[in-house]
Homo-oligomer: A and B are copies of this chain.
């Protein structure tokens, strides 16, 4: 019965699913949002309740002005409100970007590994996906250049590169500054767009996001309130150059329905202040930082020596490397019978590789469950390797 379901993820009783890459309900700023909504709704006059109307194509003007000011501070990048376009969050934005900037049958590049649920969106848009490897500094830009040469020679030039440059999902790696520059140079050289899913950027202390490169005309920076406020709002933004935004605003859905999410934009606008959303993000960083340290200690205590990981500096994920011969998909079958779950590396691979990896999220559970989950996982790995 689907009507008794109120949220997307329902974990079986008794299981700690360290695979769930979503925030837990305790971190949502309920009071902050209640206050913000009250400001937006309670004092408004009928004639001023613009949020009831079909919205402006690029998003509500008040919202974009406040968002630009917020991002300028939070990103350390001067963000022009004219270069912002409101979305229903990054999944919808990825889908829309594909609809506008590719055609069915086109080839696009993703990182190997990449966010596994983005691959379903690309499949729905009838795109061919080619993976390019990553290392500890993010996407391997030399391998990317080689791939573009190869694809060009094969007559199937890629239209865009989808990247998660900060606290990558699933690896937790952040793309280095020199590689960011090189990526944008390559975009010019090979005539492609960089679709930067910057969903985790603000969940850690990082230099500038890909948002800093939008003047190149090659970069679409996709941001969302899902990880810094709440996913249920379904509100995000695209930061990009005017010719790119103009194409998004000219789509059939926008022409018919107006801009995305006018009401929710209005409810969120009053809290886009450093002392409101800024303070909440500081709390999230502290909270997740604490959980990272806790999971790291638990992993050291529970894992076999041959299991390796880097401690992430932000985002949601640990990426474990098991011994080469271990298939994490098979381990998962044992895990479920031992009250723990995770996501196996192969899910994130574009060519059925990365079998000996595990993605763990520290975002969905609090301390005790995180520690217990890792302990159970250690037990399962000892059983199955």
Residues of A that sit less than 8 Å from B by CB: 1-9, 22-23, 25-26, 28, 30, 33-34, 37, 41-42, 44, 46-47, 49-58, 60-62, 64-65, 81-82, 88-92, 95, 99, 103-104, 115, 117-124, 126, 226, 230-234, 251-253, 255-264, 266
User: Given A121-B253, A121-B256, A2–B82 Cβ distance below 8 Å?
Assistant: yes
The 7 closest A-B pairs by CB, nearest first: A120-B252, A121-B252, A8-B258, A91-B257, A117-B256, A5-B56, A91-B256
Residues of B within 8 A of A5 (CB): 56-58, 61
Please give, as numbers and ranges, the residues of chain B lying within 8 Å of A46 by CB-CB distance: 25-26, 28, 30
- A152 CB, min distance to chain B CBs, angstroms: 24
* A3-B81 in contact given A46-B30, A52-B230 (Cβ < 8 Å): yes
Q: In whole angstroms, what is the CA distance A34 to B49 when docked?
A: 11
* A254 to B: closest C-beta gap in Å: 8
For A89, what are the chain B residues with a Cβ–Cβ distance below 8 Å? 257
Minimum CB–CB distance for A301 against chain B, Å: 30
Interface of A is mostly: helix
A–B Cβ pairs within 8 angstroms, 21 of them: A2-B58, A5-B58, A6-B50, A6-B60, A9-B53, A26-B47, A28-B49, A33-B41, A33-B52, A52-B231, A54-B226, A54-B231, A55-B232, A91-B252, A95-B252, A120-B256, A121-B253, A122-B252, A124-B252, A124-B253, A231-B258
A-B contacts besides A3-B61, A5-B61, 5 pairs, CB < 8 Å:
A8-B57, A37-B41, A52-B231, A92-B257, A124-B251
In contact, B251 and A120 (Cβ under 8 angstroms): yes
Quick check: B30 and A34 within 8 Å, CB to CB?
A: no
CB A264 to nearest CB in B, in angstroms, measures 6
Residue numbers in B under 8 Å from A62 (CB-CB): 6
Q: Please, which residue of chain B has its CB at the minimum distance from the CB of A233?
A: B263
Q: Which of B3, B61, B120 contacts A2 (CB 8 A)?
A: B61
Q: Knowing A117-B255, A234-B261, A256-B117 are in contact, say whether A52-B30 is a contact too (CB < 8 A).
A: yes
Contacts of A82 in B (CB 8 A): 1-3
* Least CB separation from A251: chain B residue: B124
Instruction: Give the one of A6, A92, A103 with max B CB within 10 A.
Output: A6
| B253 near A53: Cβ-Cβ < 8 Å | no
Closest to A43 in B: B34
Least CB distance, A14 to chain B, in whole angstroms? 19
Residues of B within 8 A of A61 (CB): 2-6
Partner of A104, one of B60, B126, B259, B261: B126
In the complex, chain B residues whose CB is within 8 Å of the CB of A90:
257
Given known A30-B49, A233-B263, contact A2–B56 (CB-CB < 8 A): yes
Residues from chain B with a CB closer than 8 A to the CB of A8 are 53-57, 258-259
Select from chain B the residue with minimum beta-carbon distance to A115. Answer: B256
> Quick one: closest B residue to A126, CB to CB?
B104
How many Å lie between the Cα of A28 and that of B23 in the bound state?
35
Give the complex CA separation of A257 and B42 in angstroms.
30
CB-CB < 8 A to A119: which residues of B? 252
Taken together as a complex, chains A and B put the C-alpha atoms of A7 and B55 apart, in Å, by 4
A52-B124 in contact (CB<8A): no
Distance (whole angstroms) from the CB of A286 to the closest CB of chain B: 18
- Contacting residues, chain B, for A92 (C-beta < 8 A): 253, 257
Q: How far is the CA of A314 from the CA of B53 in the complex (A)?
A: 21
Q: How far is the CA of A226 from the CA of B54 in the complex (A)?
A: 9
